[in-house]
Structure 1
Amino acid sequence: MRGGLRYALAFVGAAAVGHVATILLAPQVIMHIAMNRLSGDGDDVNVFRFADRTTAASRQIVRPSPDLAYASCVYDLSAGPILVDVPPSPDKGYVSVSVFAANTDNVAVMDSLRSPEGIRFILQQERKLVHPGDLPVIYTPTERGIILDRRLAPTQAEFDRADKARRGDRCAPVG
């Protein structure tokens, strides 16, 4: 009976350690995979990339909405803060910009309802505080992560207009 109790306790202990490891590691692994895919295996960092119009076959990370035009920037703050500049869509089309840390935390969300003239901010790490001047500052707990620009574009004509506007997106080191 004592041997069975030992095996049961070992199993429970291993399950608990496995559970905690999964909870702690899964977000980093998921974001590592996402950042590699969205940056072309690390070739495009601190620059926006633009997705084609969504179809039923579009599945780079998760199933995207067919009504949105997407742009993404995998950021790396190891060399310092970056300036993010996302111009508005024509005809006051809806734009949403989200910043995700490397652990999948959503650090910030901005949209064209609150910033109809465009979304512009400095992104920097919390522990490397730099005063950037007059621009708003978004602080992220991680050195790397993803910025996602989503624009309402339910028709091909609206996608074409949103695509033209999002080509002005910038995500680059300050200075």
Structure 2
Amino acid sequence: MKRAVKLGLLFAAAAVAGHVGLVMATPHLLMSVAMKRISQDGKLVNQFYFGPRTTQESRGIVRPSPDLAYSSCAFDLSGGPLLIEAAPSPNQGYVSISVFAANTDNIAVFDTTQSPQGVRFVLARDGQAVPQGERVVYSSSDKGIIIDRRLAPSAELFAAADQARRGDKCGRIG
């Protein structure tokens, strides 16, 4: 009887430890896969990738909205902070910039209702030197993803949003 209780307790402890480990590891594993895809296996790090217009077949990581033009930047802060800039879209089209840490936490969101002139900030880790006077977002991880979403519900508006987003920057300061 004592042996059965000990085995039961051991099994329960292993189940709890396995569950907690899975819950803790899953966001990092999912983000690692997403960063690998977005950076095209590490070829596009600290630079924006401008996605094509969304169709019914579009599905990189999740099914995107057909009304948006997407750009993404897989970032790596291990070499220092980055300057992130996103110009506004023409005709006051809505733009949203979201920053995600390596554990999938959304650490910052900016949009053109807050910043109609465009979005600009420095992305850094604690302890990294940042320029004076800049808006700074501190990341809890060296790596993560920045997503730029622009309202583009028609081919004409997609072309205008695409032209505007080509000026986006995700790169080293300097």
Work out the CA distance in 1 between the residues paired with 2:14 and 2:52.
Answer: 45
**Partner in structure 2 of residue 142 of structure 1:** 141
Which runs of structure 2 are paired with 1:52-71 in the superposition (5 Å)?
Answer: 52-71=52-71
C-alpha deviation, 1:159, in angstroms: 0.8
Overall identity of the aligned pairs, in %: 52
| Contact 2:80–2:128 (Cα < 8 Å) also in 1 | no
- How far apart, CA to CA, are the structure 1 residues paired with 2:130 and 2:140? 17
Structure-1 separation of matches of 2:170 and 2:6:
55
**Aligned-residue offset at 1:129:** 3.4
Q: Is the 2:88–2:117 contact (alpha carbons within 8 Å) kept by the matching residues of 1? A: yes
Q: CA deviation at 1:130?
A: 1.7
Question: 1:132 & 1:16 partners in 2: Cα distance?
Answer: 46
Partner of 2:169: 170
* Structure 1: gaps spanning 5 or more residues: none
> Once structures 1 and 2 are overlaid, which stretch shifts more, 83-92 or 56-65?
56-65
RMSD of Structure 2 on Structure 1 (CA): 1.0
1:156 offset after TM fit, Å?
Answer: 1.1
User: Where has structure 1 moved over 2 Å in runs of 4 or more?
Assistant: 1-4
Q: Residues of 2 paired with 1:88 and 1:20: CA distance?
A: 43
Deviation (angstroms), 1:171: 0.4
Q: 1:35-114, aligned counterparts within 5 Å? A: 35-114=35-114
2:150 counterpart residue number = 151
What does residue 14 of structure 2 align with? 14
- 1:78 aligns to what SS in structure 2? helix
Give the TM-score normalised by the residue count of structure 1. 0.96
Q: How many angstroms apart in 1 are the aligned matches of 2:33 and 2:88?
A: 30
Distance 1:11 1:60 in 2: 39
- Separation in 1 of the partners of 2:130 and 2:8? 56
Aligned length: 174
- Cα displacement string for residues 59-82 of structure 1 (whole angstroms, at most 9, x for unaligned residues): 111111111100000011111001
Structure 1 Cα separation of the partners of residues 86 and 133 of structure 2? 17
Question: How far off its partner does 1:3 sit?
Answer: 2.9
Cα drift, residue 133 of structure 1: 2.0
| Counterpart position of 1:131 | 130
Distance 1:42 1:155 in 2: 32
The offset of 1:141, in angstroms, is: 0.8
